[in-house]
Amino acid sequence: MKALTDPAPGDTDGGATIYQVAERADVSIATVSRVLRGTAPVAAATRARVEAAMAALRFTPSRLGVSLAERHHAANGIVFPDLSGPYFAEVVLGYEEVAAEVGRSVLILSTHGRQAAREMVLDLAARVDGMVVLARTVDDEVIAEVLGKNIPVVVVARDRVRGADSVNAENEHSAEALGAHLAAHGHRSFAFMGDPEISADAYHRWTGLTRALRAHGVNVPQRPVACPFDEDGGREAAAVLLGTDPPDALVCANDEIALGAITAAEQMGIRIPDDLAVTGWDDVMAARHSRPGLTTVRQPMRQLGAWAARRLHERLGGDTSAPRHEVLPTQLVVRASCGHHNKEDR
């Protein structure tokens, strides 16, 4: 009796097929498909037989078969440069969360700045119905190629690309506010760390900062100090910068650079914020816990991912309206690293 209800010992492989279920229930595969999808009425008795057969065989429909027939993957992709910093991890998390909610699997792809990025993205494009592209992982042409295959893409933390939706956190005004705050502290000589050539975010932050400085009659630095967006990048670039002509204030494109810079400064005996003000961007966990607390700009990382996922879902639902370009608000978080404040100095 037992042997009858258990899966055949021989079928060691990827599971039973709809044919085996049909045979066991003594119906056609069409009927099995019907009870599976509830797409048409099936007699109660028949349904029961089919369900019993499915259970006995531990039948799970092949995603490949289903997708091929339905002509879509029920999966989306997301490509980012790296997951090492807290920033991208948060965006991806926000993305995954709503993608899962609306029933789509998510494929990730980290380009790591590899040369093969284009091929990797194109390969990804063959596995998904839509995808989101973070920052400058690939050129606009690659995105155009993907769009050309009729798979929608939404870009995040990146300038607009023809034909794609986009979400960004507000940058210029936030940078202006930050610059104004620093100027009000009396800082007169500035430096900006981060690479505007590589990051649209950094570019706009640099732009906003310079505008603020100009408005406040403060000298604008010649150019940004380009450096990788991590602690080491910040530390090394700061070591050089502070060794030659140290500014009063160091505005960094993200918290990691800032934290790295602070490390370098402390090693050189430079006190923060007395000798040097330092600010970051993102408000990661370490920014809260460092001493002095890091003045920074908080941006809604989770929401960036969530918005992208929702928009993609709309597109895949048939929305063919003009691309939308969302800008999410940020928040200046003033702590101690930007200089002494009058009241509660914390």
Partner DNA sequence: TTGTAGGCGTTATCAC
Partner DNA sequence: GTGATAACGCCTACAA
Q: Within positions 96 to 115, which residues make up the interface with a second copy, using CB under 8 A? A: 96-97, 100, 105-110, 112
Asked whether position 282 contacts a second copy by CB under 8 A, the answer is no
Q: How many CB atoms lie within 10 A of CB 22?
A: 18
Cβ closest to a second copy, residue 125 vs residue 175? 125
- Which residue in the block uniquely carries the two structure tokens 């500035």? 190
Asked whether position 52 contacts DNA by CB under 7 A, the answer is no
Stretch that binds DNA, among 59-67, 111-119, 140-148, 206-214 (CB under 7 A): 59-67
- Retrieve residue 54's tokens: 């499915």
Cβ closest to a second copy, residue 288 vs residue 340? 288
Picked from DNA, a second copy, none, the partner binding residue 170 (CB below 5 to 8 A depending on kind) is none
DSSP line for 233-273: HHHHHHHHHHHHS--SEEEESSHHHHHHHHHHHHHTT--TT
- Retrieve residue 15's tokens: 């599971």
User: Of 53, 57, 59, 282, which lies in the binding site for DNA, with binding defined by CB under 7 A?
Assistant: 59
Picked from DNA, a second copy, none, the partner binding residue 207 (CB below 5 to 8 A depending on kind) is none
Half-sphere exposure of 217 (CA within 13 A, CB side): 2
Tallying the residues shown for the chain, one arrives at 346
Cβ closest to a second copy, residue 59 vs residue 190? 59
Inter-residue contact 231 to 256 (CB < 8 Å): yes
Asked whether position 148 contacts DNA by CB under 7 A, the answer is no
Pairing of strands 296-298, 331-333: antiparallel
Q: Is 40 helix (H, G, I), strand (E, B) or coil?
A: coil
Torsion angle defined by CA atoms of residues 327, 75, 70 and 66, in that order, rounded to the nearest 10 degrees: -160
User: Of 19, 55, 215, 267, which lies in the binding site for DNA, with binding defined by CB under 7 A?
Assistant: 19
* Among the listed residues 209, 228, 229, 227, the one whose alpha carbon sits nearest the alpha carbon of residue 219: 209
Picked from DNA, a second copy, none, the partner binding residue 75 (CB below 5 to 8 A depending on kind) is a second copy
Beta carbon of residue 62, minimum distance to DNA (angstroms, whole number): 3
Stretch that binds a second copy, among 30-38, 143-151, 175-183, 219-227 (CB under 8 A): 143-151
Would you tell me which residues interact with DNA (CB under 7 A)?
A: 14-15, 17-19, 26-31, 33-34, 36-37, 39-43, 45-47, 59-62, 64-66, 68-71
